[in-house]
Amino acid sequence: MLTPRGRRALPPTRREHWRVVAAVVIVLVACLVVGEVVDQVVKSSTAVGQRTDKTWVAAVATIVDESNTLSPALHAIRAHAADPAVFDRVTLEYALAQLARSAESDANTYRELGLAAPSQRADALMAGVLNLRRAGAESLARGIALAISRRGGRSSLPQAGQLLATAGSCFLAADAGYHALVVALDKDASARRLPSSVWIASPGVWSGAAARAWANDLRSAAILAFSPVLSIVAVTLEPPPLDITGLPATTTVTTTTLAKVTTLPTTAKTARKGHARRQATVTTSTTTSNPVAKVSTNPARAKPTTTTTTLPSATTTLQIPPAGSVSVVAATSRLEVVVVVENTGDATALGAYLTVVLSPVRSSHTGAARVSARHRLLSLVPGASQYVVMPKLAVKHATGYELVVTATIPSGPSATRSIALYVSN
């Protein structure tokens, strides 16, 4: 059969063959194109994933480095908490608070990191490590606080030991979790950038038995006990010194003005003893390169009375004159000593006494006798101070004395201040 142009047409079978071949070629080309695109996408996603993993590892390494900086404090607390050469109660509490705050900060930093971890397991392990260290630091602080507290008696020691053992378990579990994280990332070369954990040096010291023994040691450490501490922050005289001789060359005059308002009982006995307590407003002006400690007083509560007397203000130089100086007092037969005592400890001071002793120096030949007075202090809460006017002491003219002021508390340290003075003729 001839076509319009005179060519013989292809048989039907041959036309179908060419159509199949063309379709196959088109499909193969499409497959090659799709395969190349898929390959590029896979390679690109793999590279992106590797870069993301390395970023996460780098960020985690920084957090672990920061966490490792807490290990020296942890080791010092565990080894030397009861050693007075290393810690007292205040410095130990500060170290524990710093450890707990820093551990919590590390956990919060990781939680807010916002980076995808290589796997869900890696993310869970890292978060678990930091949360366990935070929980361990909190249990450690609570356990030590309970061990050194006297409120619960010895009945609180088992609970303290349990808290310390819990802290140790948290620290040990955190180190185990961190090791598991490093193993999980071991196939990735980037995991080698993770630093080693140095939190646990000796696992045995965190066992239950060791924790209970440690609680007993903490309870018996006197340096860690809550106790009052009395401090004499000011001593003034009435009449006030006219001059102070022998002052160091670098010390000038510090003037303290005490405006005193007191309520005195009308009984002759109390008036004679002079055990009145006065509310004090202290104004200090210092022009010295070696200043004397500042006075900070809390008004003491006066007992109920029927008569109110306003005393004239007393002005004296130097709250406590330095050693080697002599306070020269105007001629008088009676000397009044005013003392400000402060409780600088961490427990209420009960049963404390204030004693003043006035002893004539050997060089004086006036026949003056040694005189003294004693006063029982009110209870002083931590940080509070008390203004005490001691009974007047008999003195003689032209006589040198040594005044010794002592604040004592049962089963506690004493505070002593001494002043050399001379009563003019």
Question: What pLDDT digit, counting tens, does each position of 261-320 carry?
Answer: 333 333 333 333 333 333 333 333 333 333 333 333 343 333 333 222 323 333 333 478
| Residue where a domain terminates, one of 224, 258, 293 | 224
Is 206 in the same domain as 240?
Answer: no
Give the mean pLDDT of 206-228. 87
283 within a domain of the structure (yes/no) = yes
Q: Check if the beta carbon of residue 230 is closer than 8 Å to that of residue 349.
A: yes
276 and 214 together in one domain: no
Where helices occur in 303-379 by DSSP H, the ranges are none
Percent residues over pLDDT 90 in the chain? 45
Give, for 378, the enclosing helix (H) or strand (E). Answer: none
Residues 235 and 154 in one domain: no
Rounded-to-integer distance, Cα 105 and Cα 101, Å: 6
Q: Identify the H or E element spanning 336.
A: strand 334-343
> 129-165 pLDDT, tens per residue?
999 999 999 999 999 999 988 665 667 889 999 999 9
Name, of 49-58, 170-179, 373-382, the range with top average pLDDT. Answer: 170-179
Q: Quote the CA–CA distance of 87 and 95 in Å, as a whole number.
A: 9
Tell me the pairing of strands 307-310 and 326-329: unpaired
Which candidate, 61, 59, 70, places its Cα nearest to that of 200? 70
Q: Is residue 35 part of a domain?
A: no
Mean pLDDT value across the chain: 77
**Over 60: is that where the pLDDT of 192 sits?**
no
In angstroms, the CA 242 to CA 116 distance is: 78
Query: Is position 143 within any domain?
Result: yes
Query: Residue 252 has what pLDDT?
Result: 45
Confidence of residue 223 (pLDDT cuts 50, 70, 90): confident
Is 47 in the same domain as 139?
yes
Same domain, 250 and 293: yes
* Residues 188 and 250 reside in one and the same domain: no
pLDDT for the residue numbered 360: 93
Q: What is the mean pLDDT of residues 168-175?
A: 96
Tell me how far the alpha carbon of residue 424 is from its chain's centroid.
Answer: 50
Per-residue model confidence (pLDDT) at position 405:
96
- C-beta neighbour count of 391 within 10 angstroms: 17
* Distance, CA of 414 to CA of 406 (rounded, Å): 7
- Tell me if 338 sits within 8 A of 232, measured CB to CB: no
Side-chain-facing half-sphere of 180: CA atoms under 13 Å: 15
Both 151 and 285 in a single domain? no
Mean pLDDT of 233-262: 68
Three-class SS state of 384: coil
* Geometric angle at alpha carbon 223, from 222 and 227, rounded to 5°: 80
Domain containing 388: what range? 230-423
Beta strands in 78-176 (DSSP E): none
How does residue 80 score in pLDDT terms, banded at 50, 70 and 90? very high
* DSSP summary character for residue 359: E
* Pair (318, 337) in one structural domain: yes
The tokens for 392 are 């007047």
Residue 334 has pLDDT above 90, yes or no: yes
281: three-class secondary structure by DSSP = strand
pLDDT of residue 253: 43
- Asked whether 337 and 393 are in contact (CB, 8 A), the reply is yes
Do 161 and 299 fall into the same domain?
no
CATH of the domain at 344: 2.60.40.10
Pair of tokens at residue 249:
């060359």
Task: Pick 421 or 89 by higher pLDDT.
Answer: 421
Q: What does the block give as tokens for 413?
A: 């340290």
Ranges 11-20, 38-47, 196-205: which has the least confidence: 38-47
Q: Which helix (H) or strand (E) holds 320?
A: none
Domain count, the chain: 2
Does residue 379 form part of some domain?
yes
Is there a single domain that holds both residue 216 and residue 239? no
Q: Of 169, 191, 224, at which residue does a domain stop?
A: 224
Angstrom distances, CA of residue 103 to CA of 65, 81, 99, 133, 203: 12, 19, 6, 6, 19
CB 340 within 8 A of CB 372: no
Answer yes or no: do 346 and 210 share one domain.
no
- Region 314-330: mean pLDDT is 73
Smallest Cα–Cα separation from 104: which of 69, 132, 143? 132
Is there a single domain that holds both residue 183 and residue 264?
no
Q: For residues 403 and 358, is the Cβ–Cβ distance under 8 A?
A: yes
Q: Give the range with max mean pLDDT: 36-45, 81-90, 121-130, 296-305.
A: 121-130
26 belongs to a structural domain: no
Q: Tell whether the model's pLDDT for residue 61 goes beyond 60.
A: yes
* Span of 1-5, 70-74, 226-230, 417-421 with lowest mean pLDDT: 1-5
Residue finishing a domain among 224, 254, 282:
224
